[in-house]
């Protein structure tokens, strides 16, 4: 998805839909991986003894600071609704 989105941006398009979709999918996938790493390591995963706690904390923040998932989904929903209404008006 990152390659797909980067290619669209490289071609000069705004890529707002593609970047929202990619940010949601990638940030949530990364979070699931980091969360499983903590779980597998048990208590050790929550200490500063390994890098896992730092990665988990930073990935968690990523789901907020690059636009919360809900805001990306809200923006995608608005676009889908706009396109559907336009298609309806155009008789499609
Ligand atoms: C470490 C860090 C770095 C940052 N760097 C930057 C930066 O470089 N540039 C920049 O511009 N900003 C930056 N920010 C700000 C960041 O973009 C905002 O924190 C983020 O957009 C969320 O806004 P908020 O914190 O006001 O939360 P709010 O807008 O109050 O949202 C809180 C929660 O409410 C829910 N929510 C909000 N809106 C909706 C909606 N429409 N529909 C459904 N649910 C919703 C979501 O679950 C969301 O997580 C940074 C933040 C952090 C923590």
Domain architecture of the chain: domains with CATH: 39-92 (1.20.140.10)
**Protein residue with least CA distance to atom 41, ligand 1:** 71
Evaluate: CB of 77 within 6 angstroms of ligand 1: no
Q: Which DSSP symbol is given to 77?
A: H
- Gap from CA of 69 to ligand 1 centroid (Å): 10
Residue 7 predicted with pLDDT over 90: yes
pLDDT tens, residue by residue, 23-71: 999 999 999 999 999 999 999 999 999 999 999 999 999 889 989 999 9
Q: How far apart are CA 49 and CA 90, in angstroms?
A: 61
Check residue 89 and give left, alpha or beta (phi > 0: left; psi -120 to 50: alpha): alpha
Looking at residue 91, its pLDDT comes to: 80
- Gap from CA of 91 to ligand 1 centroid (Å): 38
Say how many residues make up the chain: 92
Evaluate: CB of 67 within 6 angstroms of ligand 1: yes
**Angle, CA 22 vertex, CA 18 and CA 72 arms, to 5°:** 80
pTM, to two decimals: 0.85
The encoded tokens of residue 47 equal 């200490």
């Amino acid at each position: 998805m990152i390659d797909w989105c980067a290619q669209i941006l490289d071609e000069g398009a705004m890529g707002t839909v593609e970047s929202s979709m990619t940010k949601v999918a990638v940030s949530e996938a990364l979070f699931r991986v980091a969360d499983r790493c903590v779980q597998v390591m048990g208590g050790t995963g929550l200490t500063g003894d390994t890098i896992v706690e730092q990665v988990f904390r930073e990935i968690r923040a990523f789901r907020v600071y690059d636009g919360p998932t809900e805001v990306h989904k809200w923006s995608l929903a608005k676009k889908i609704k706009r396109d559907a209404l336009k298609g309806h008006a155009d008789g499609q």
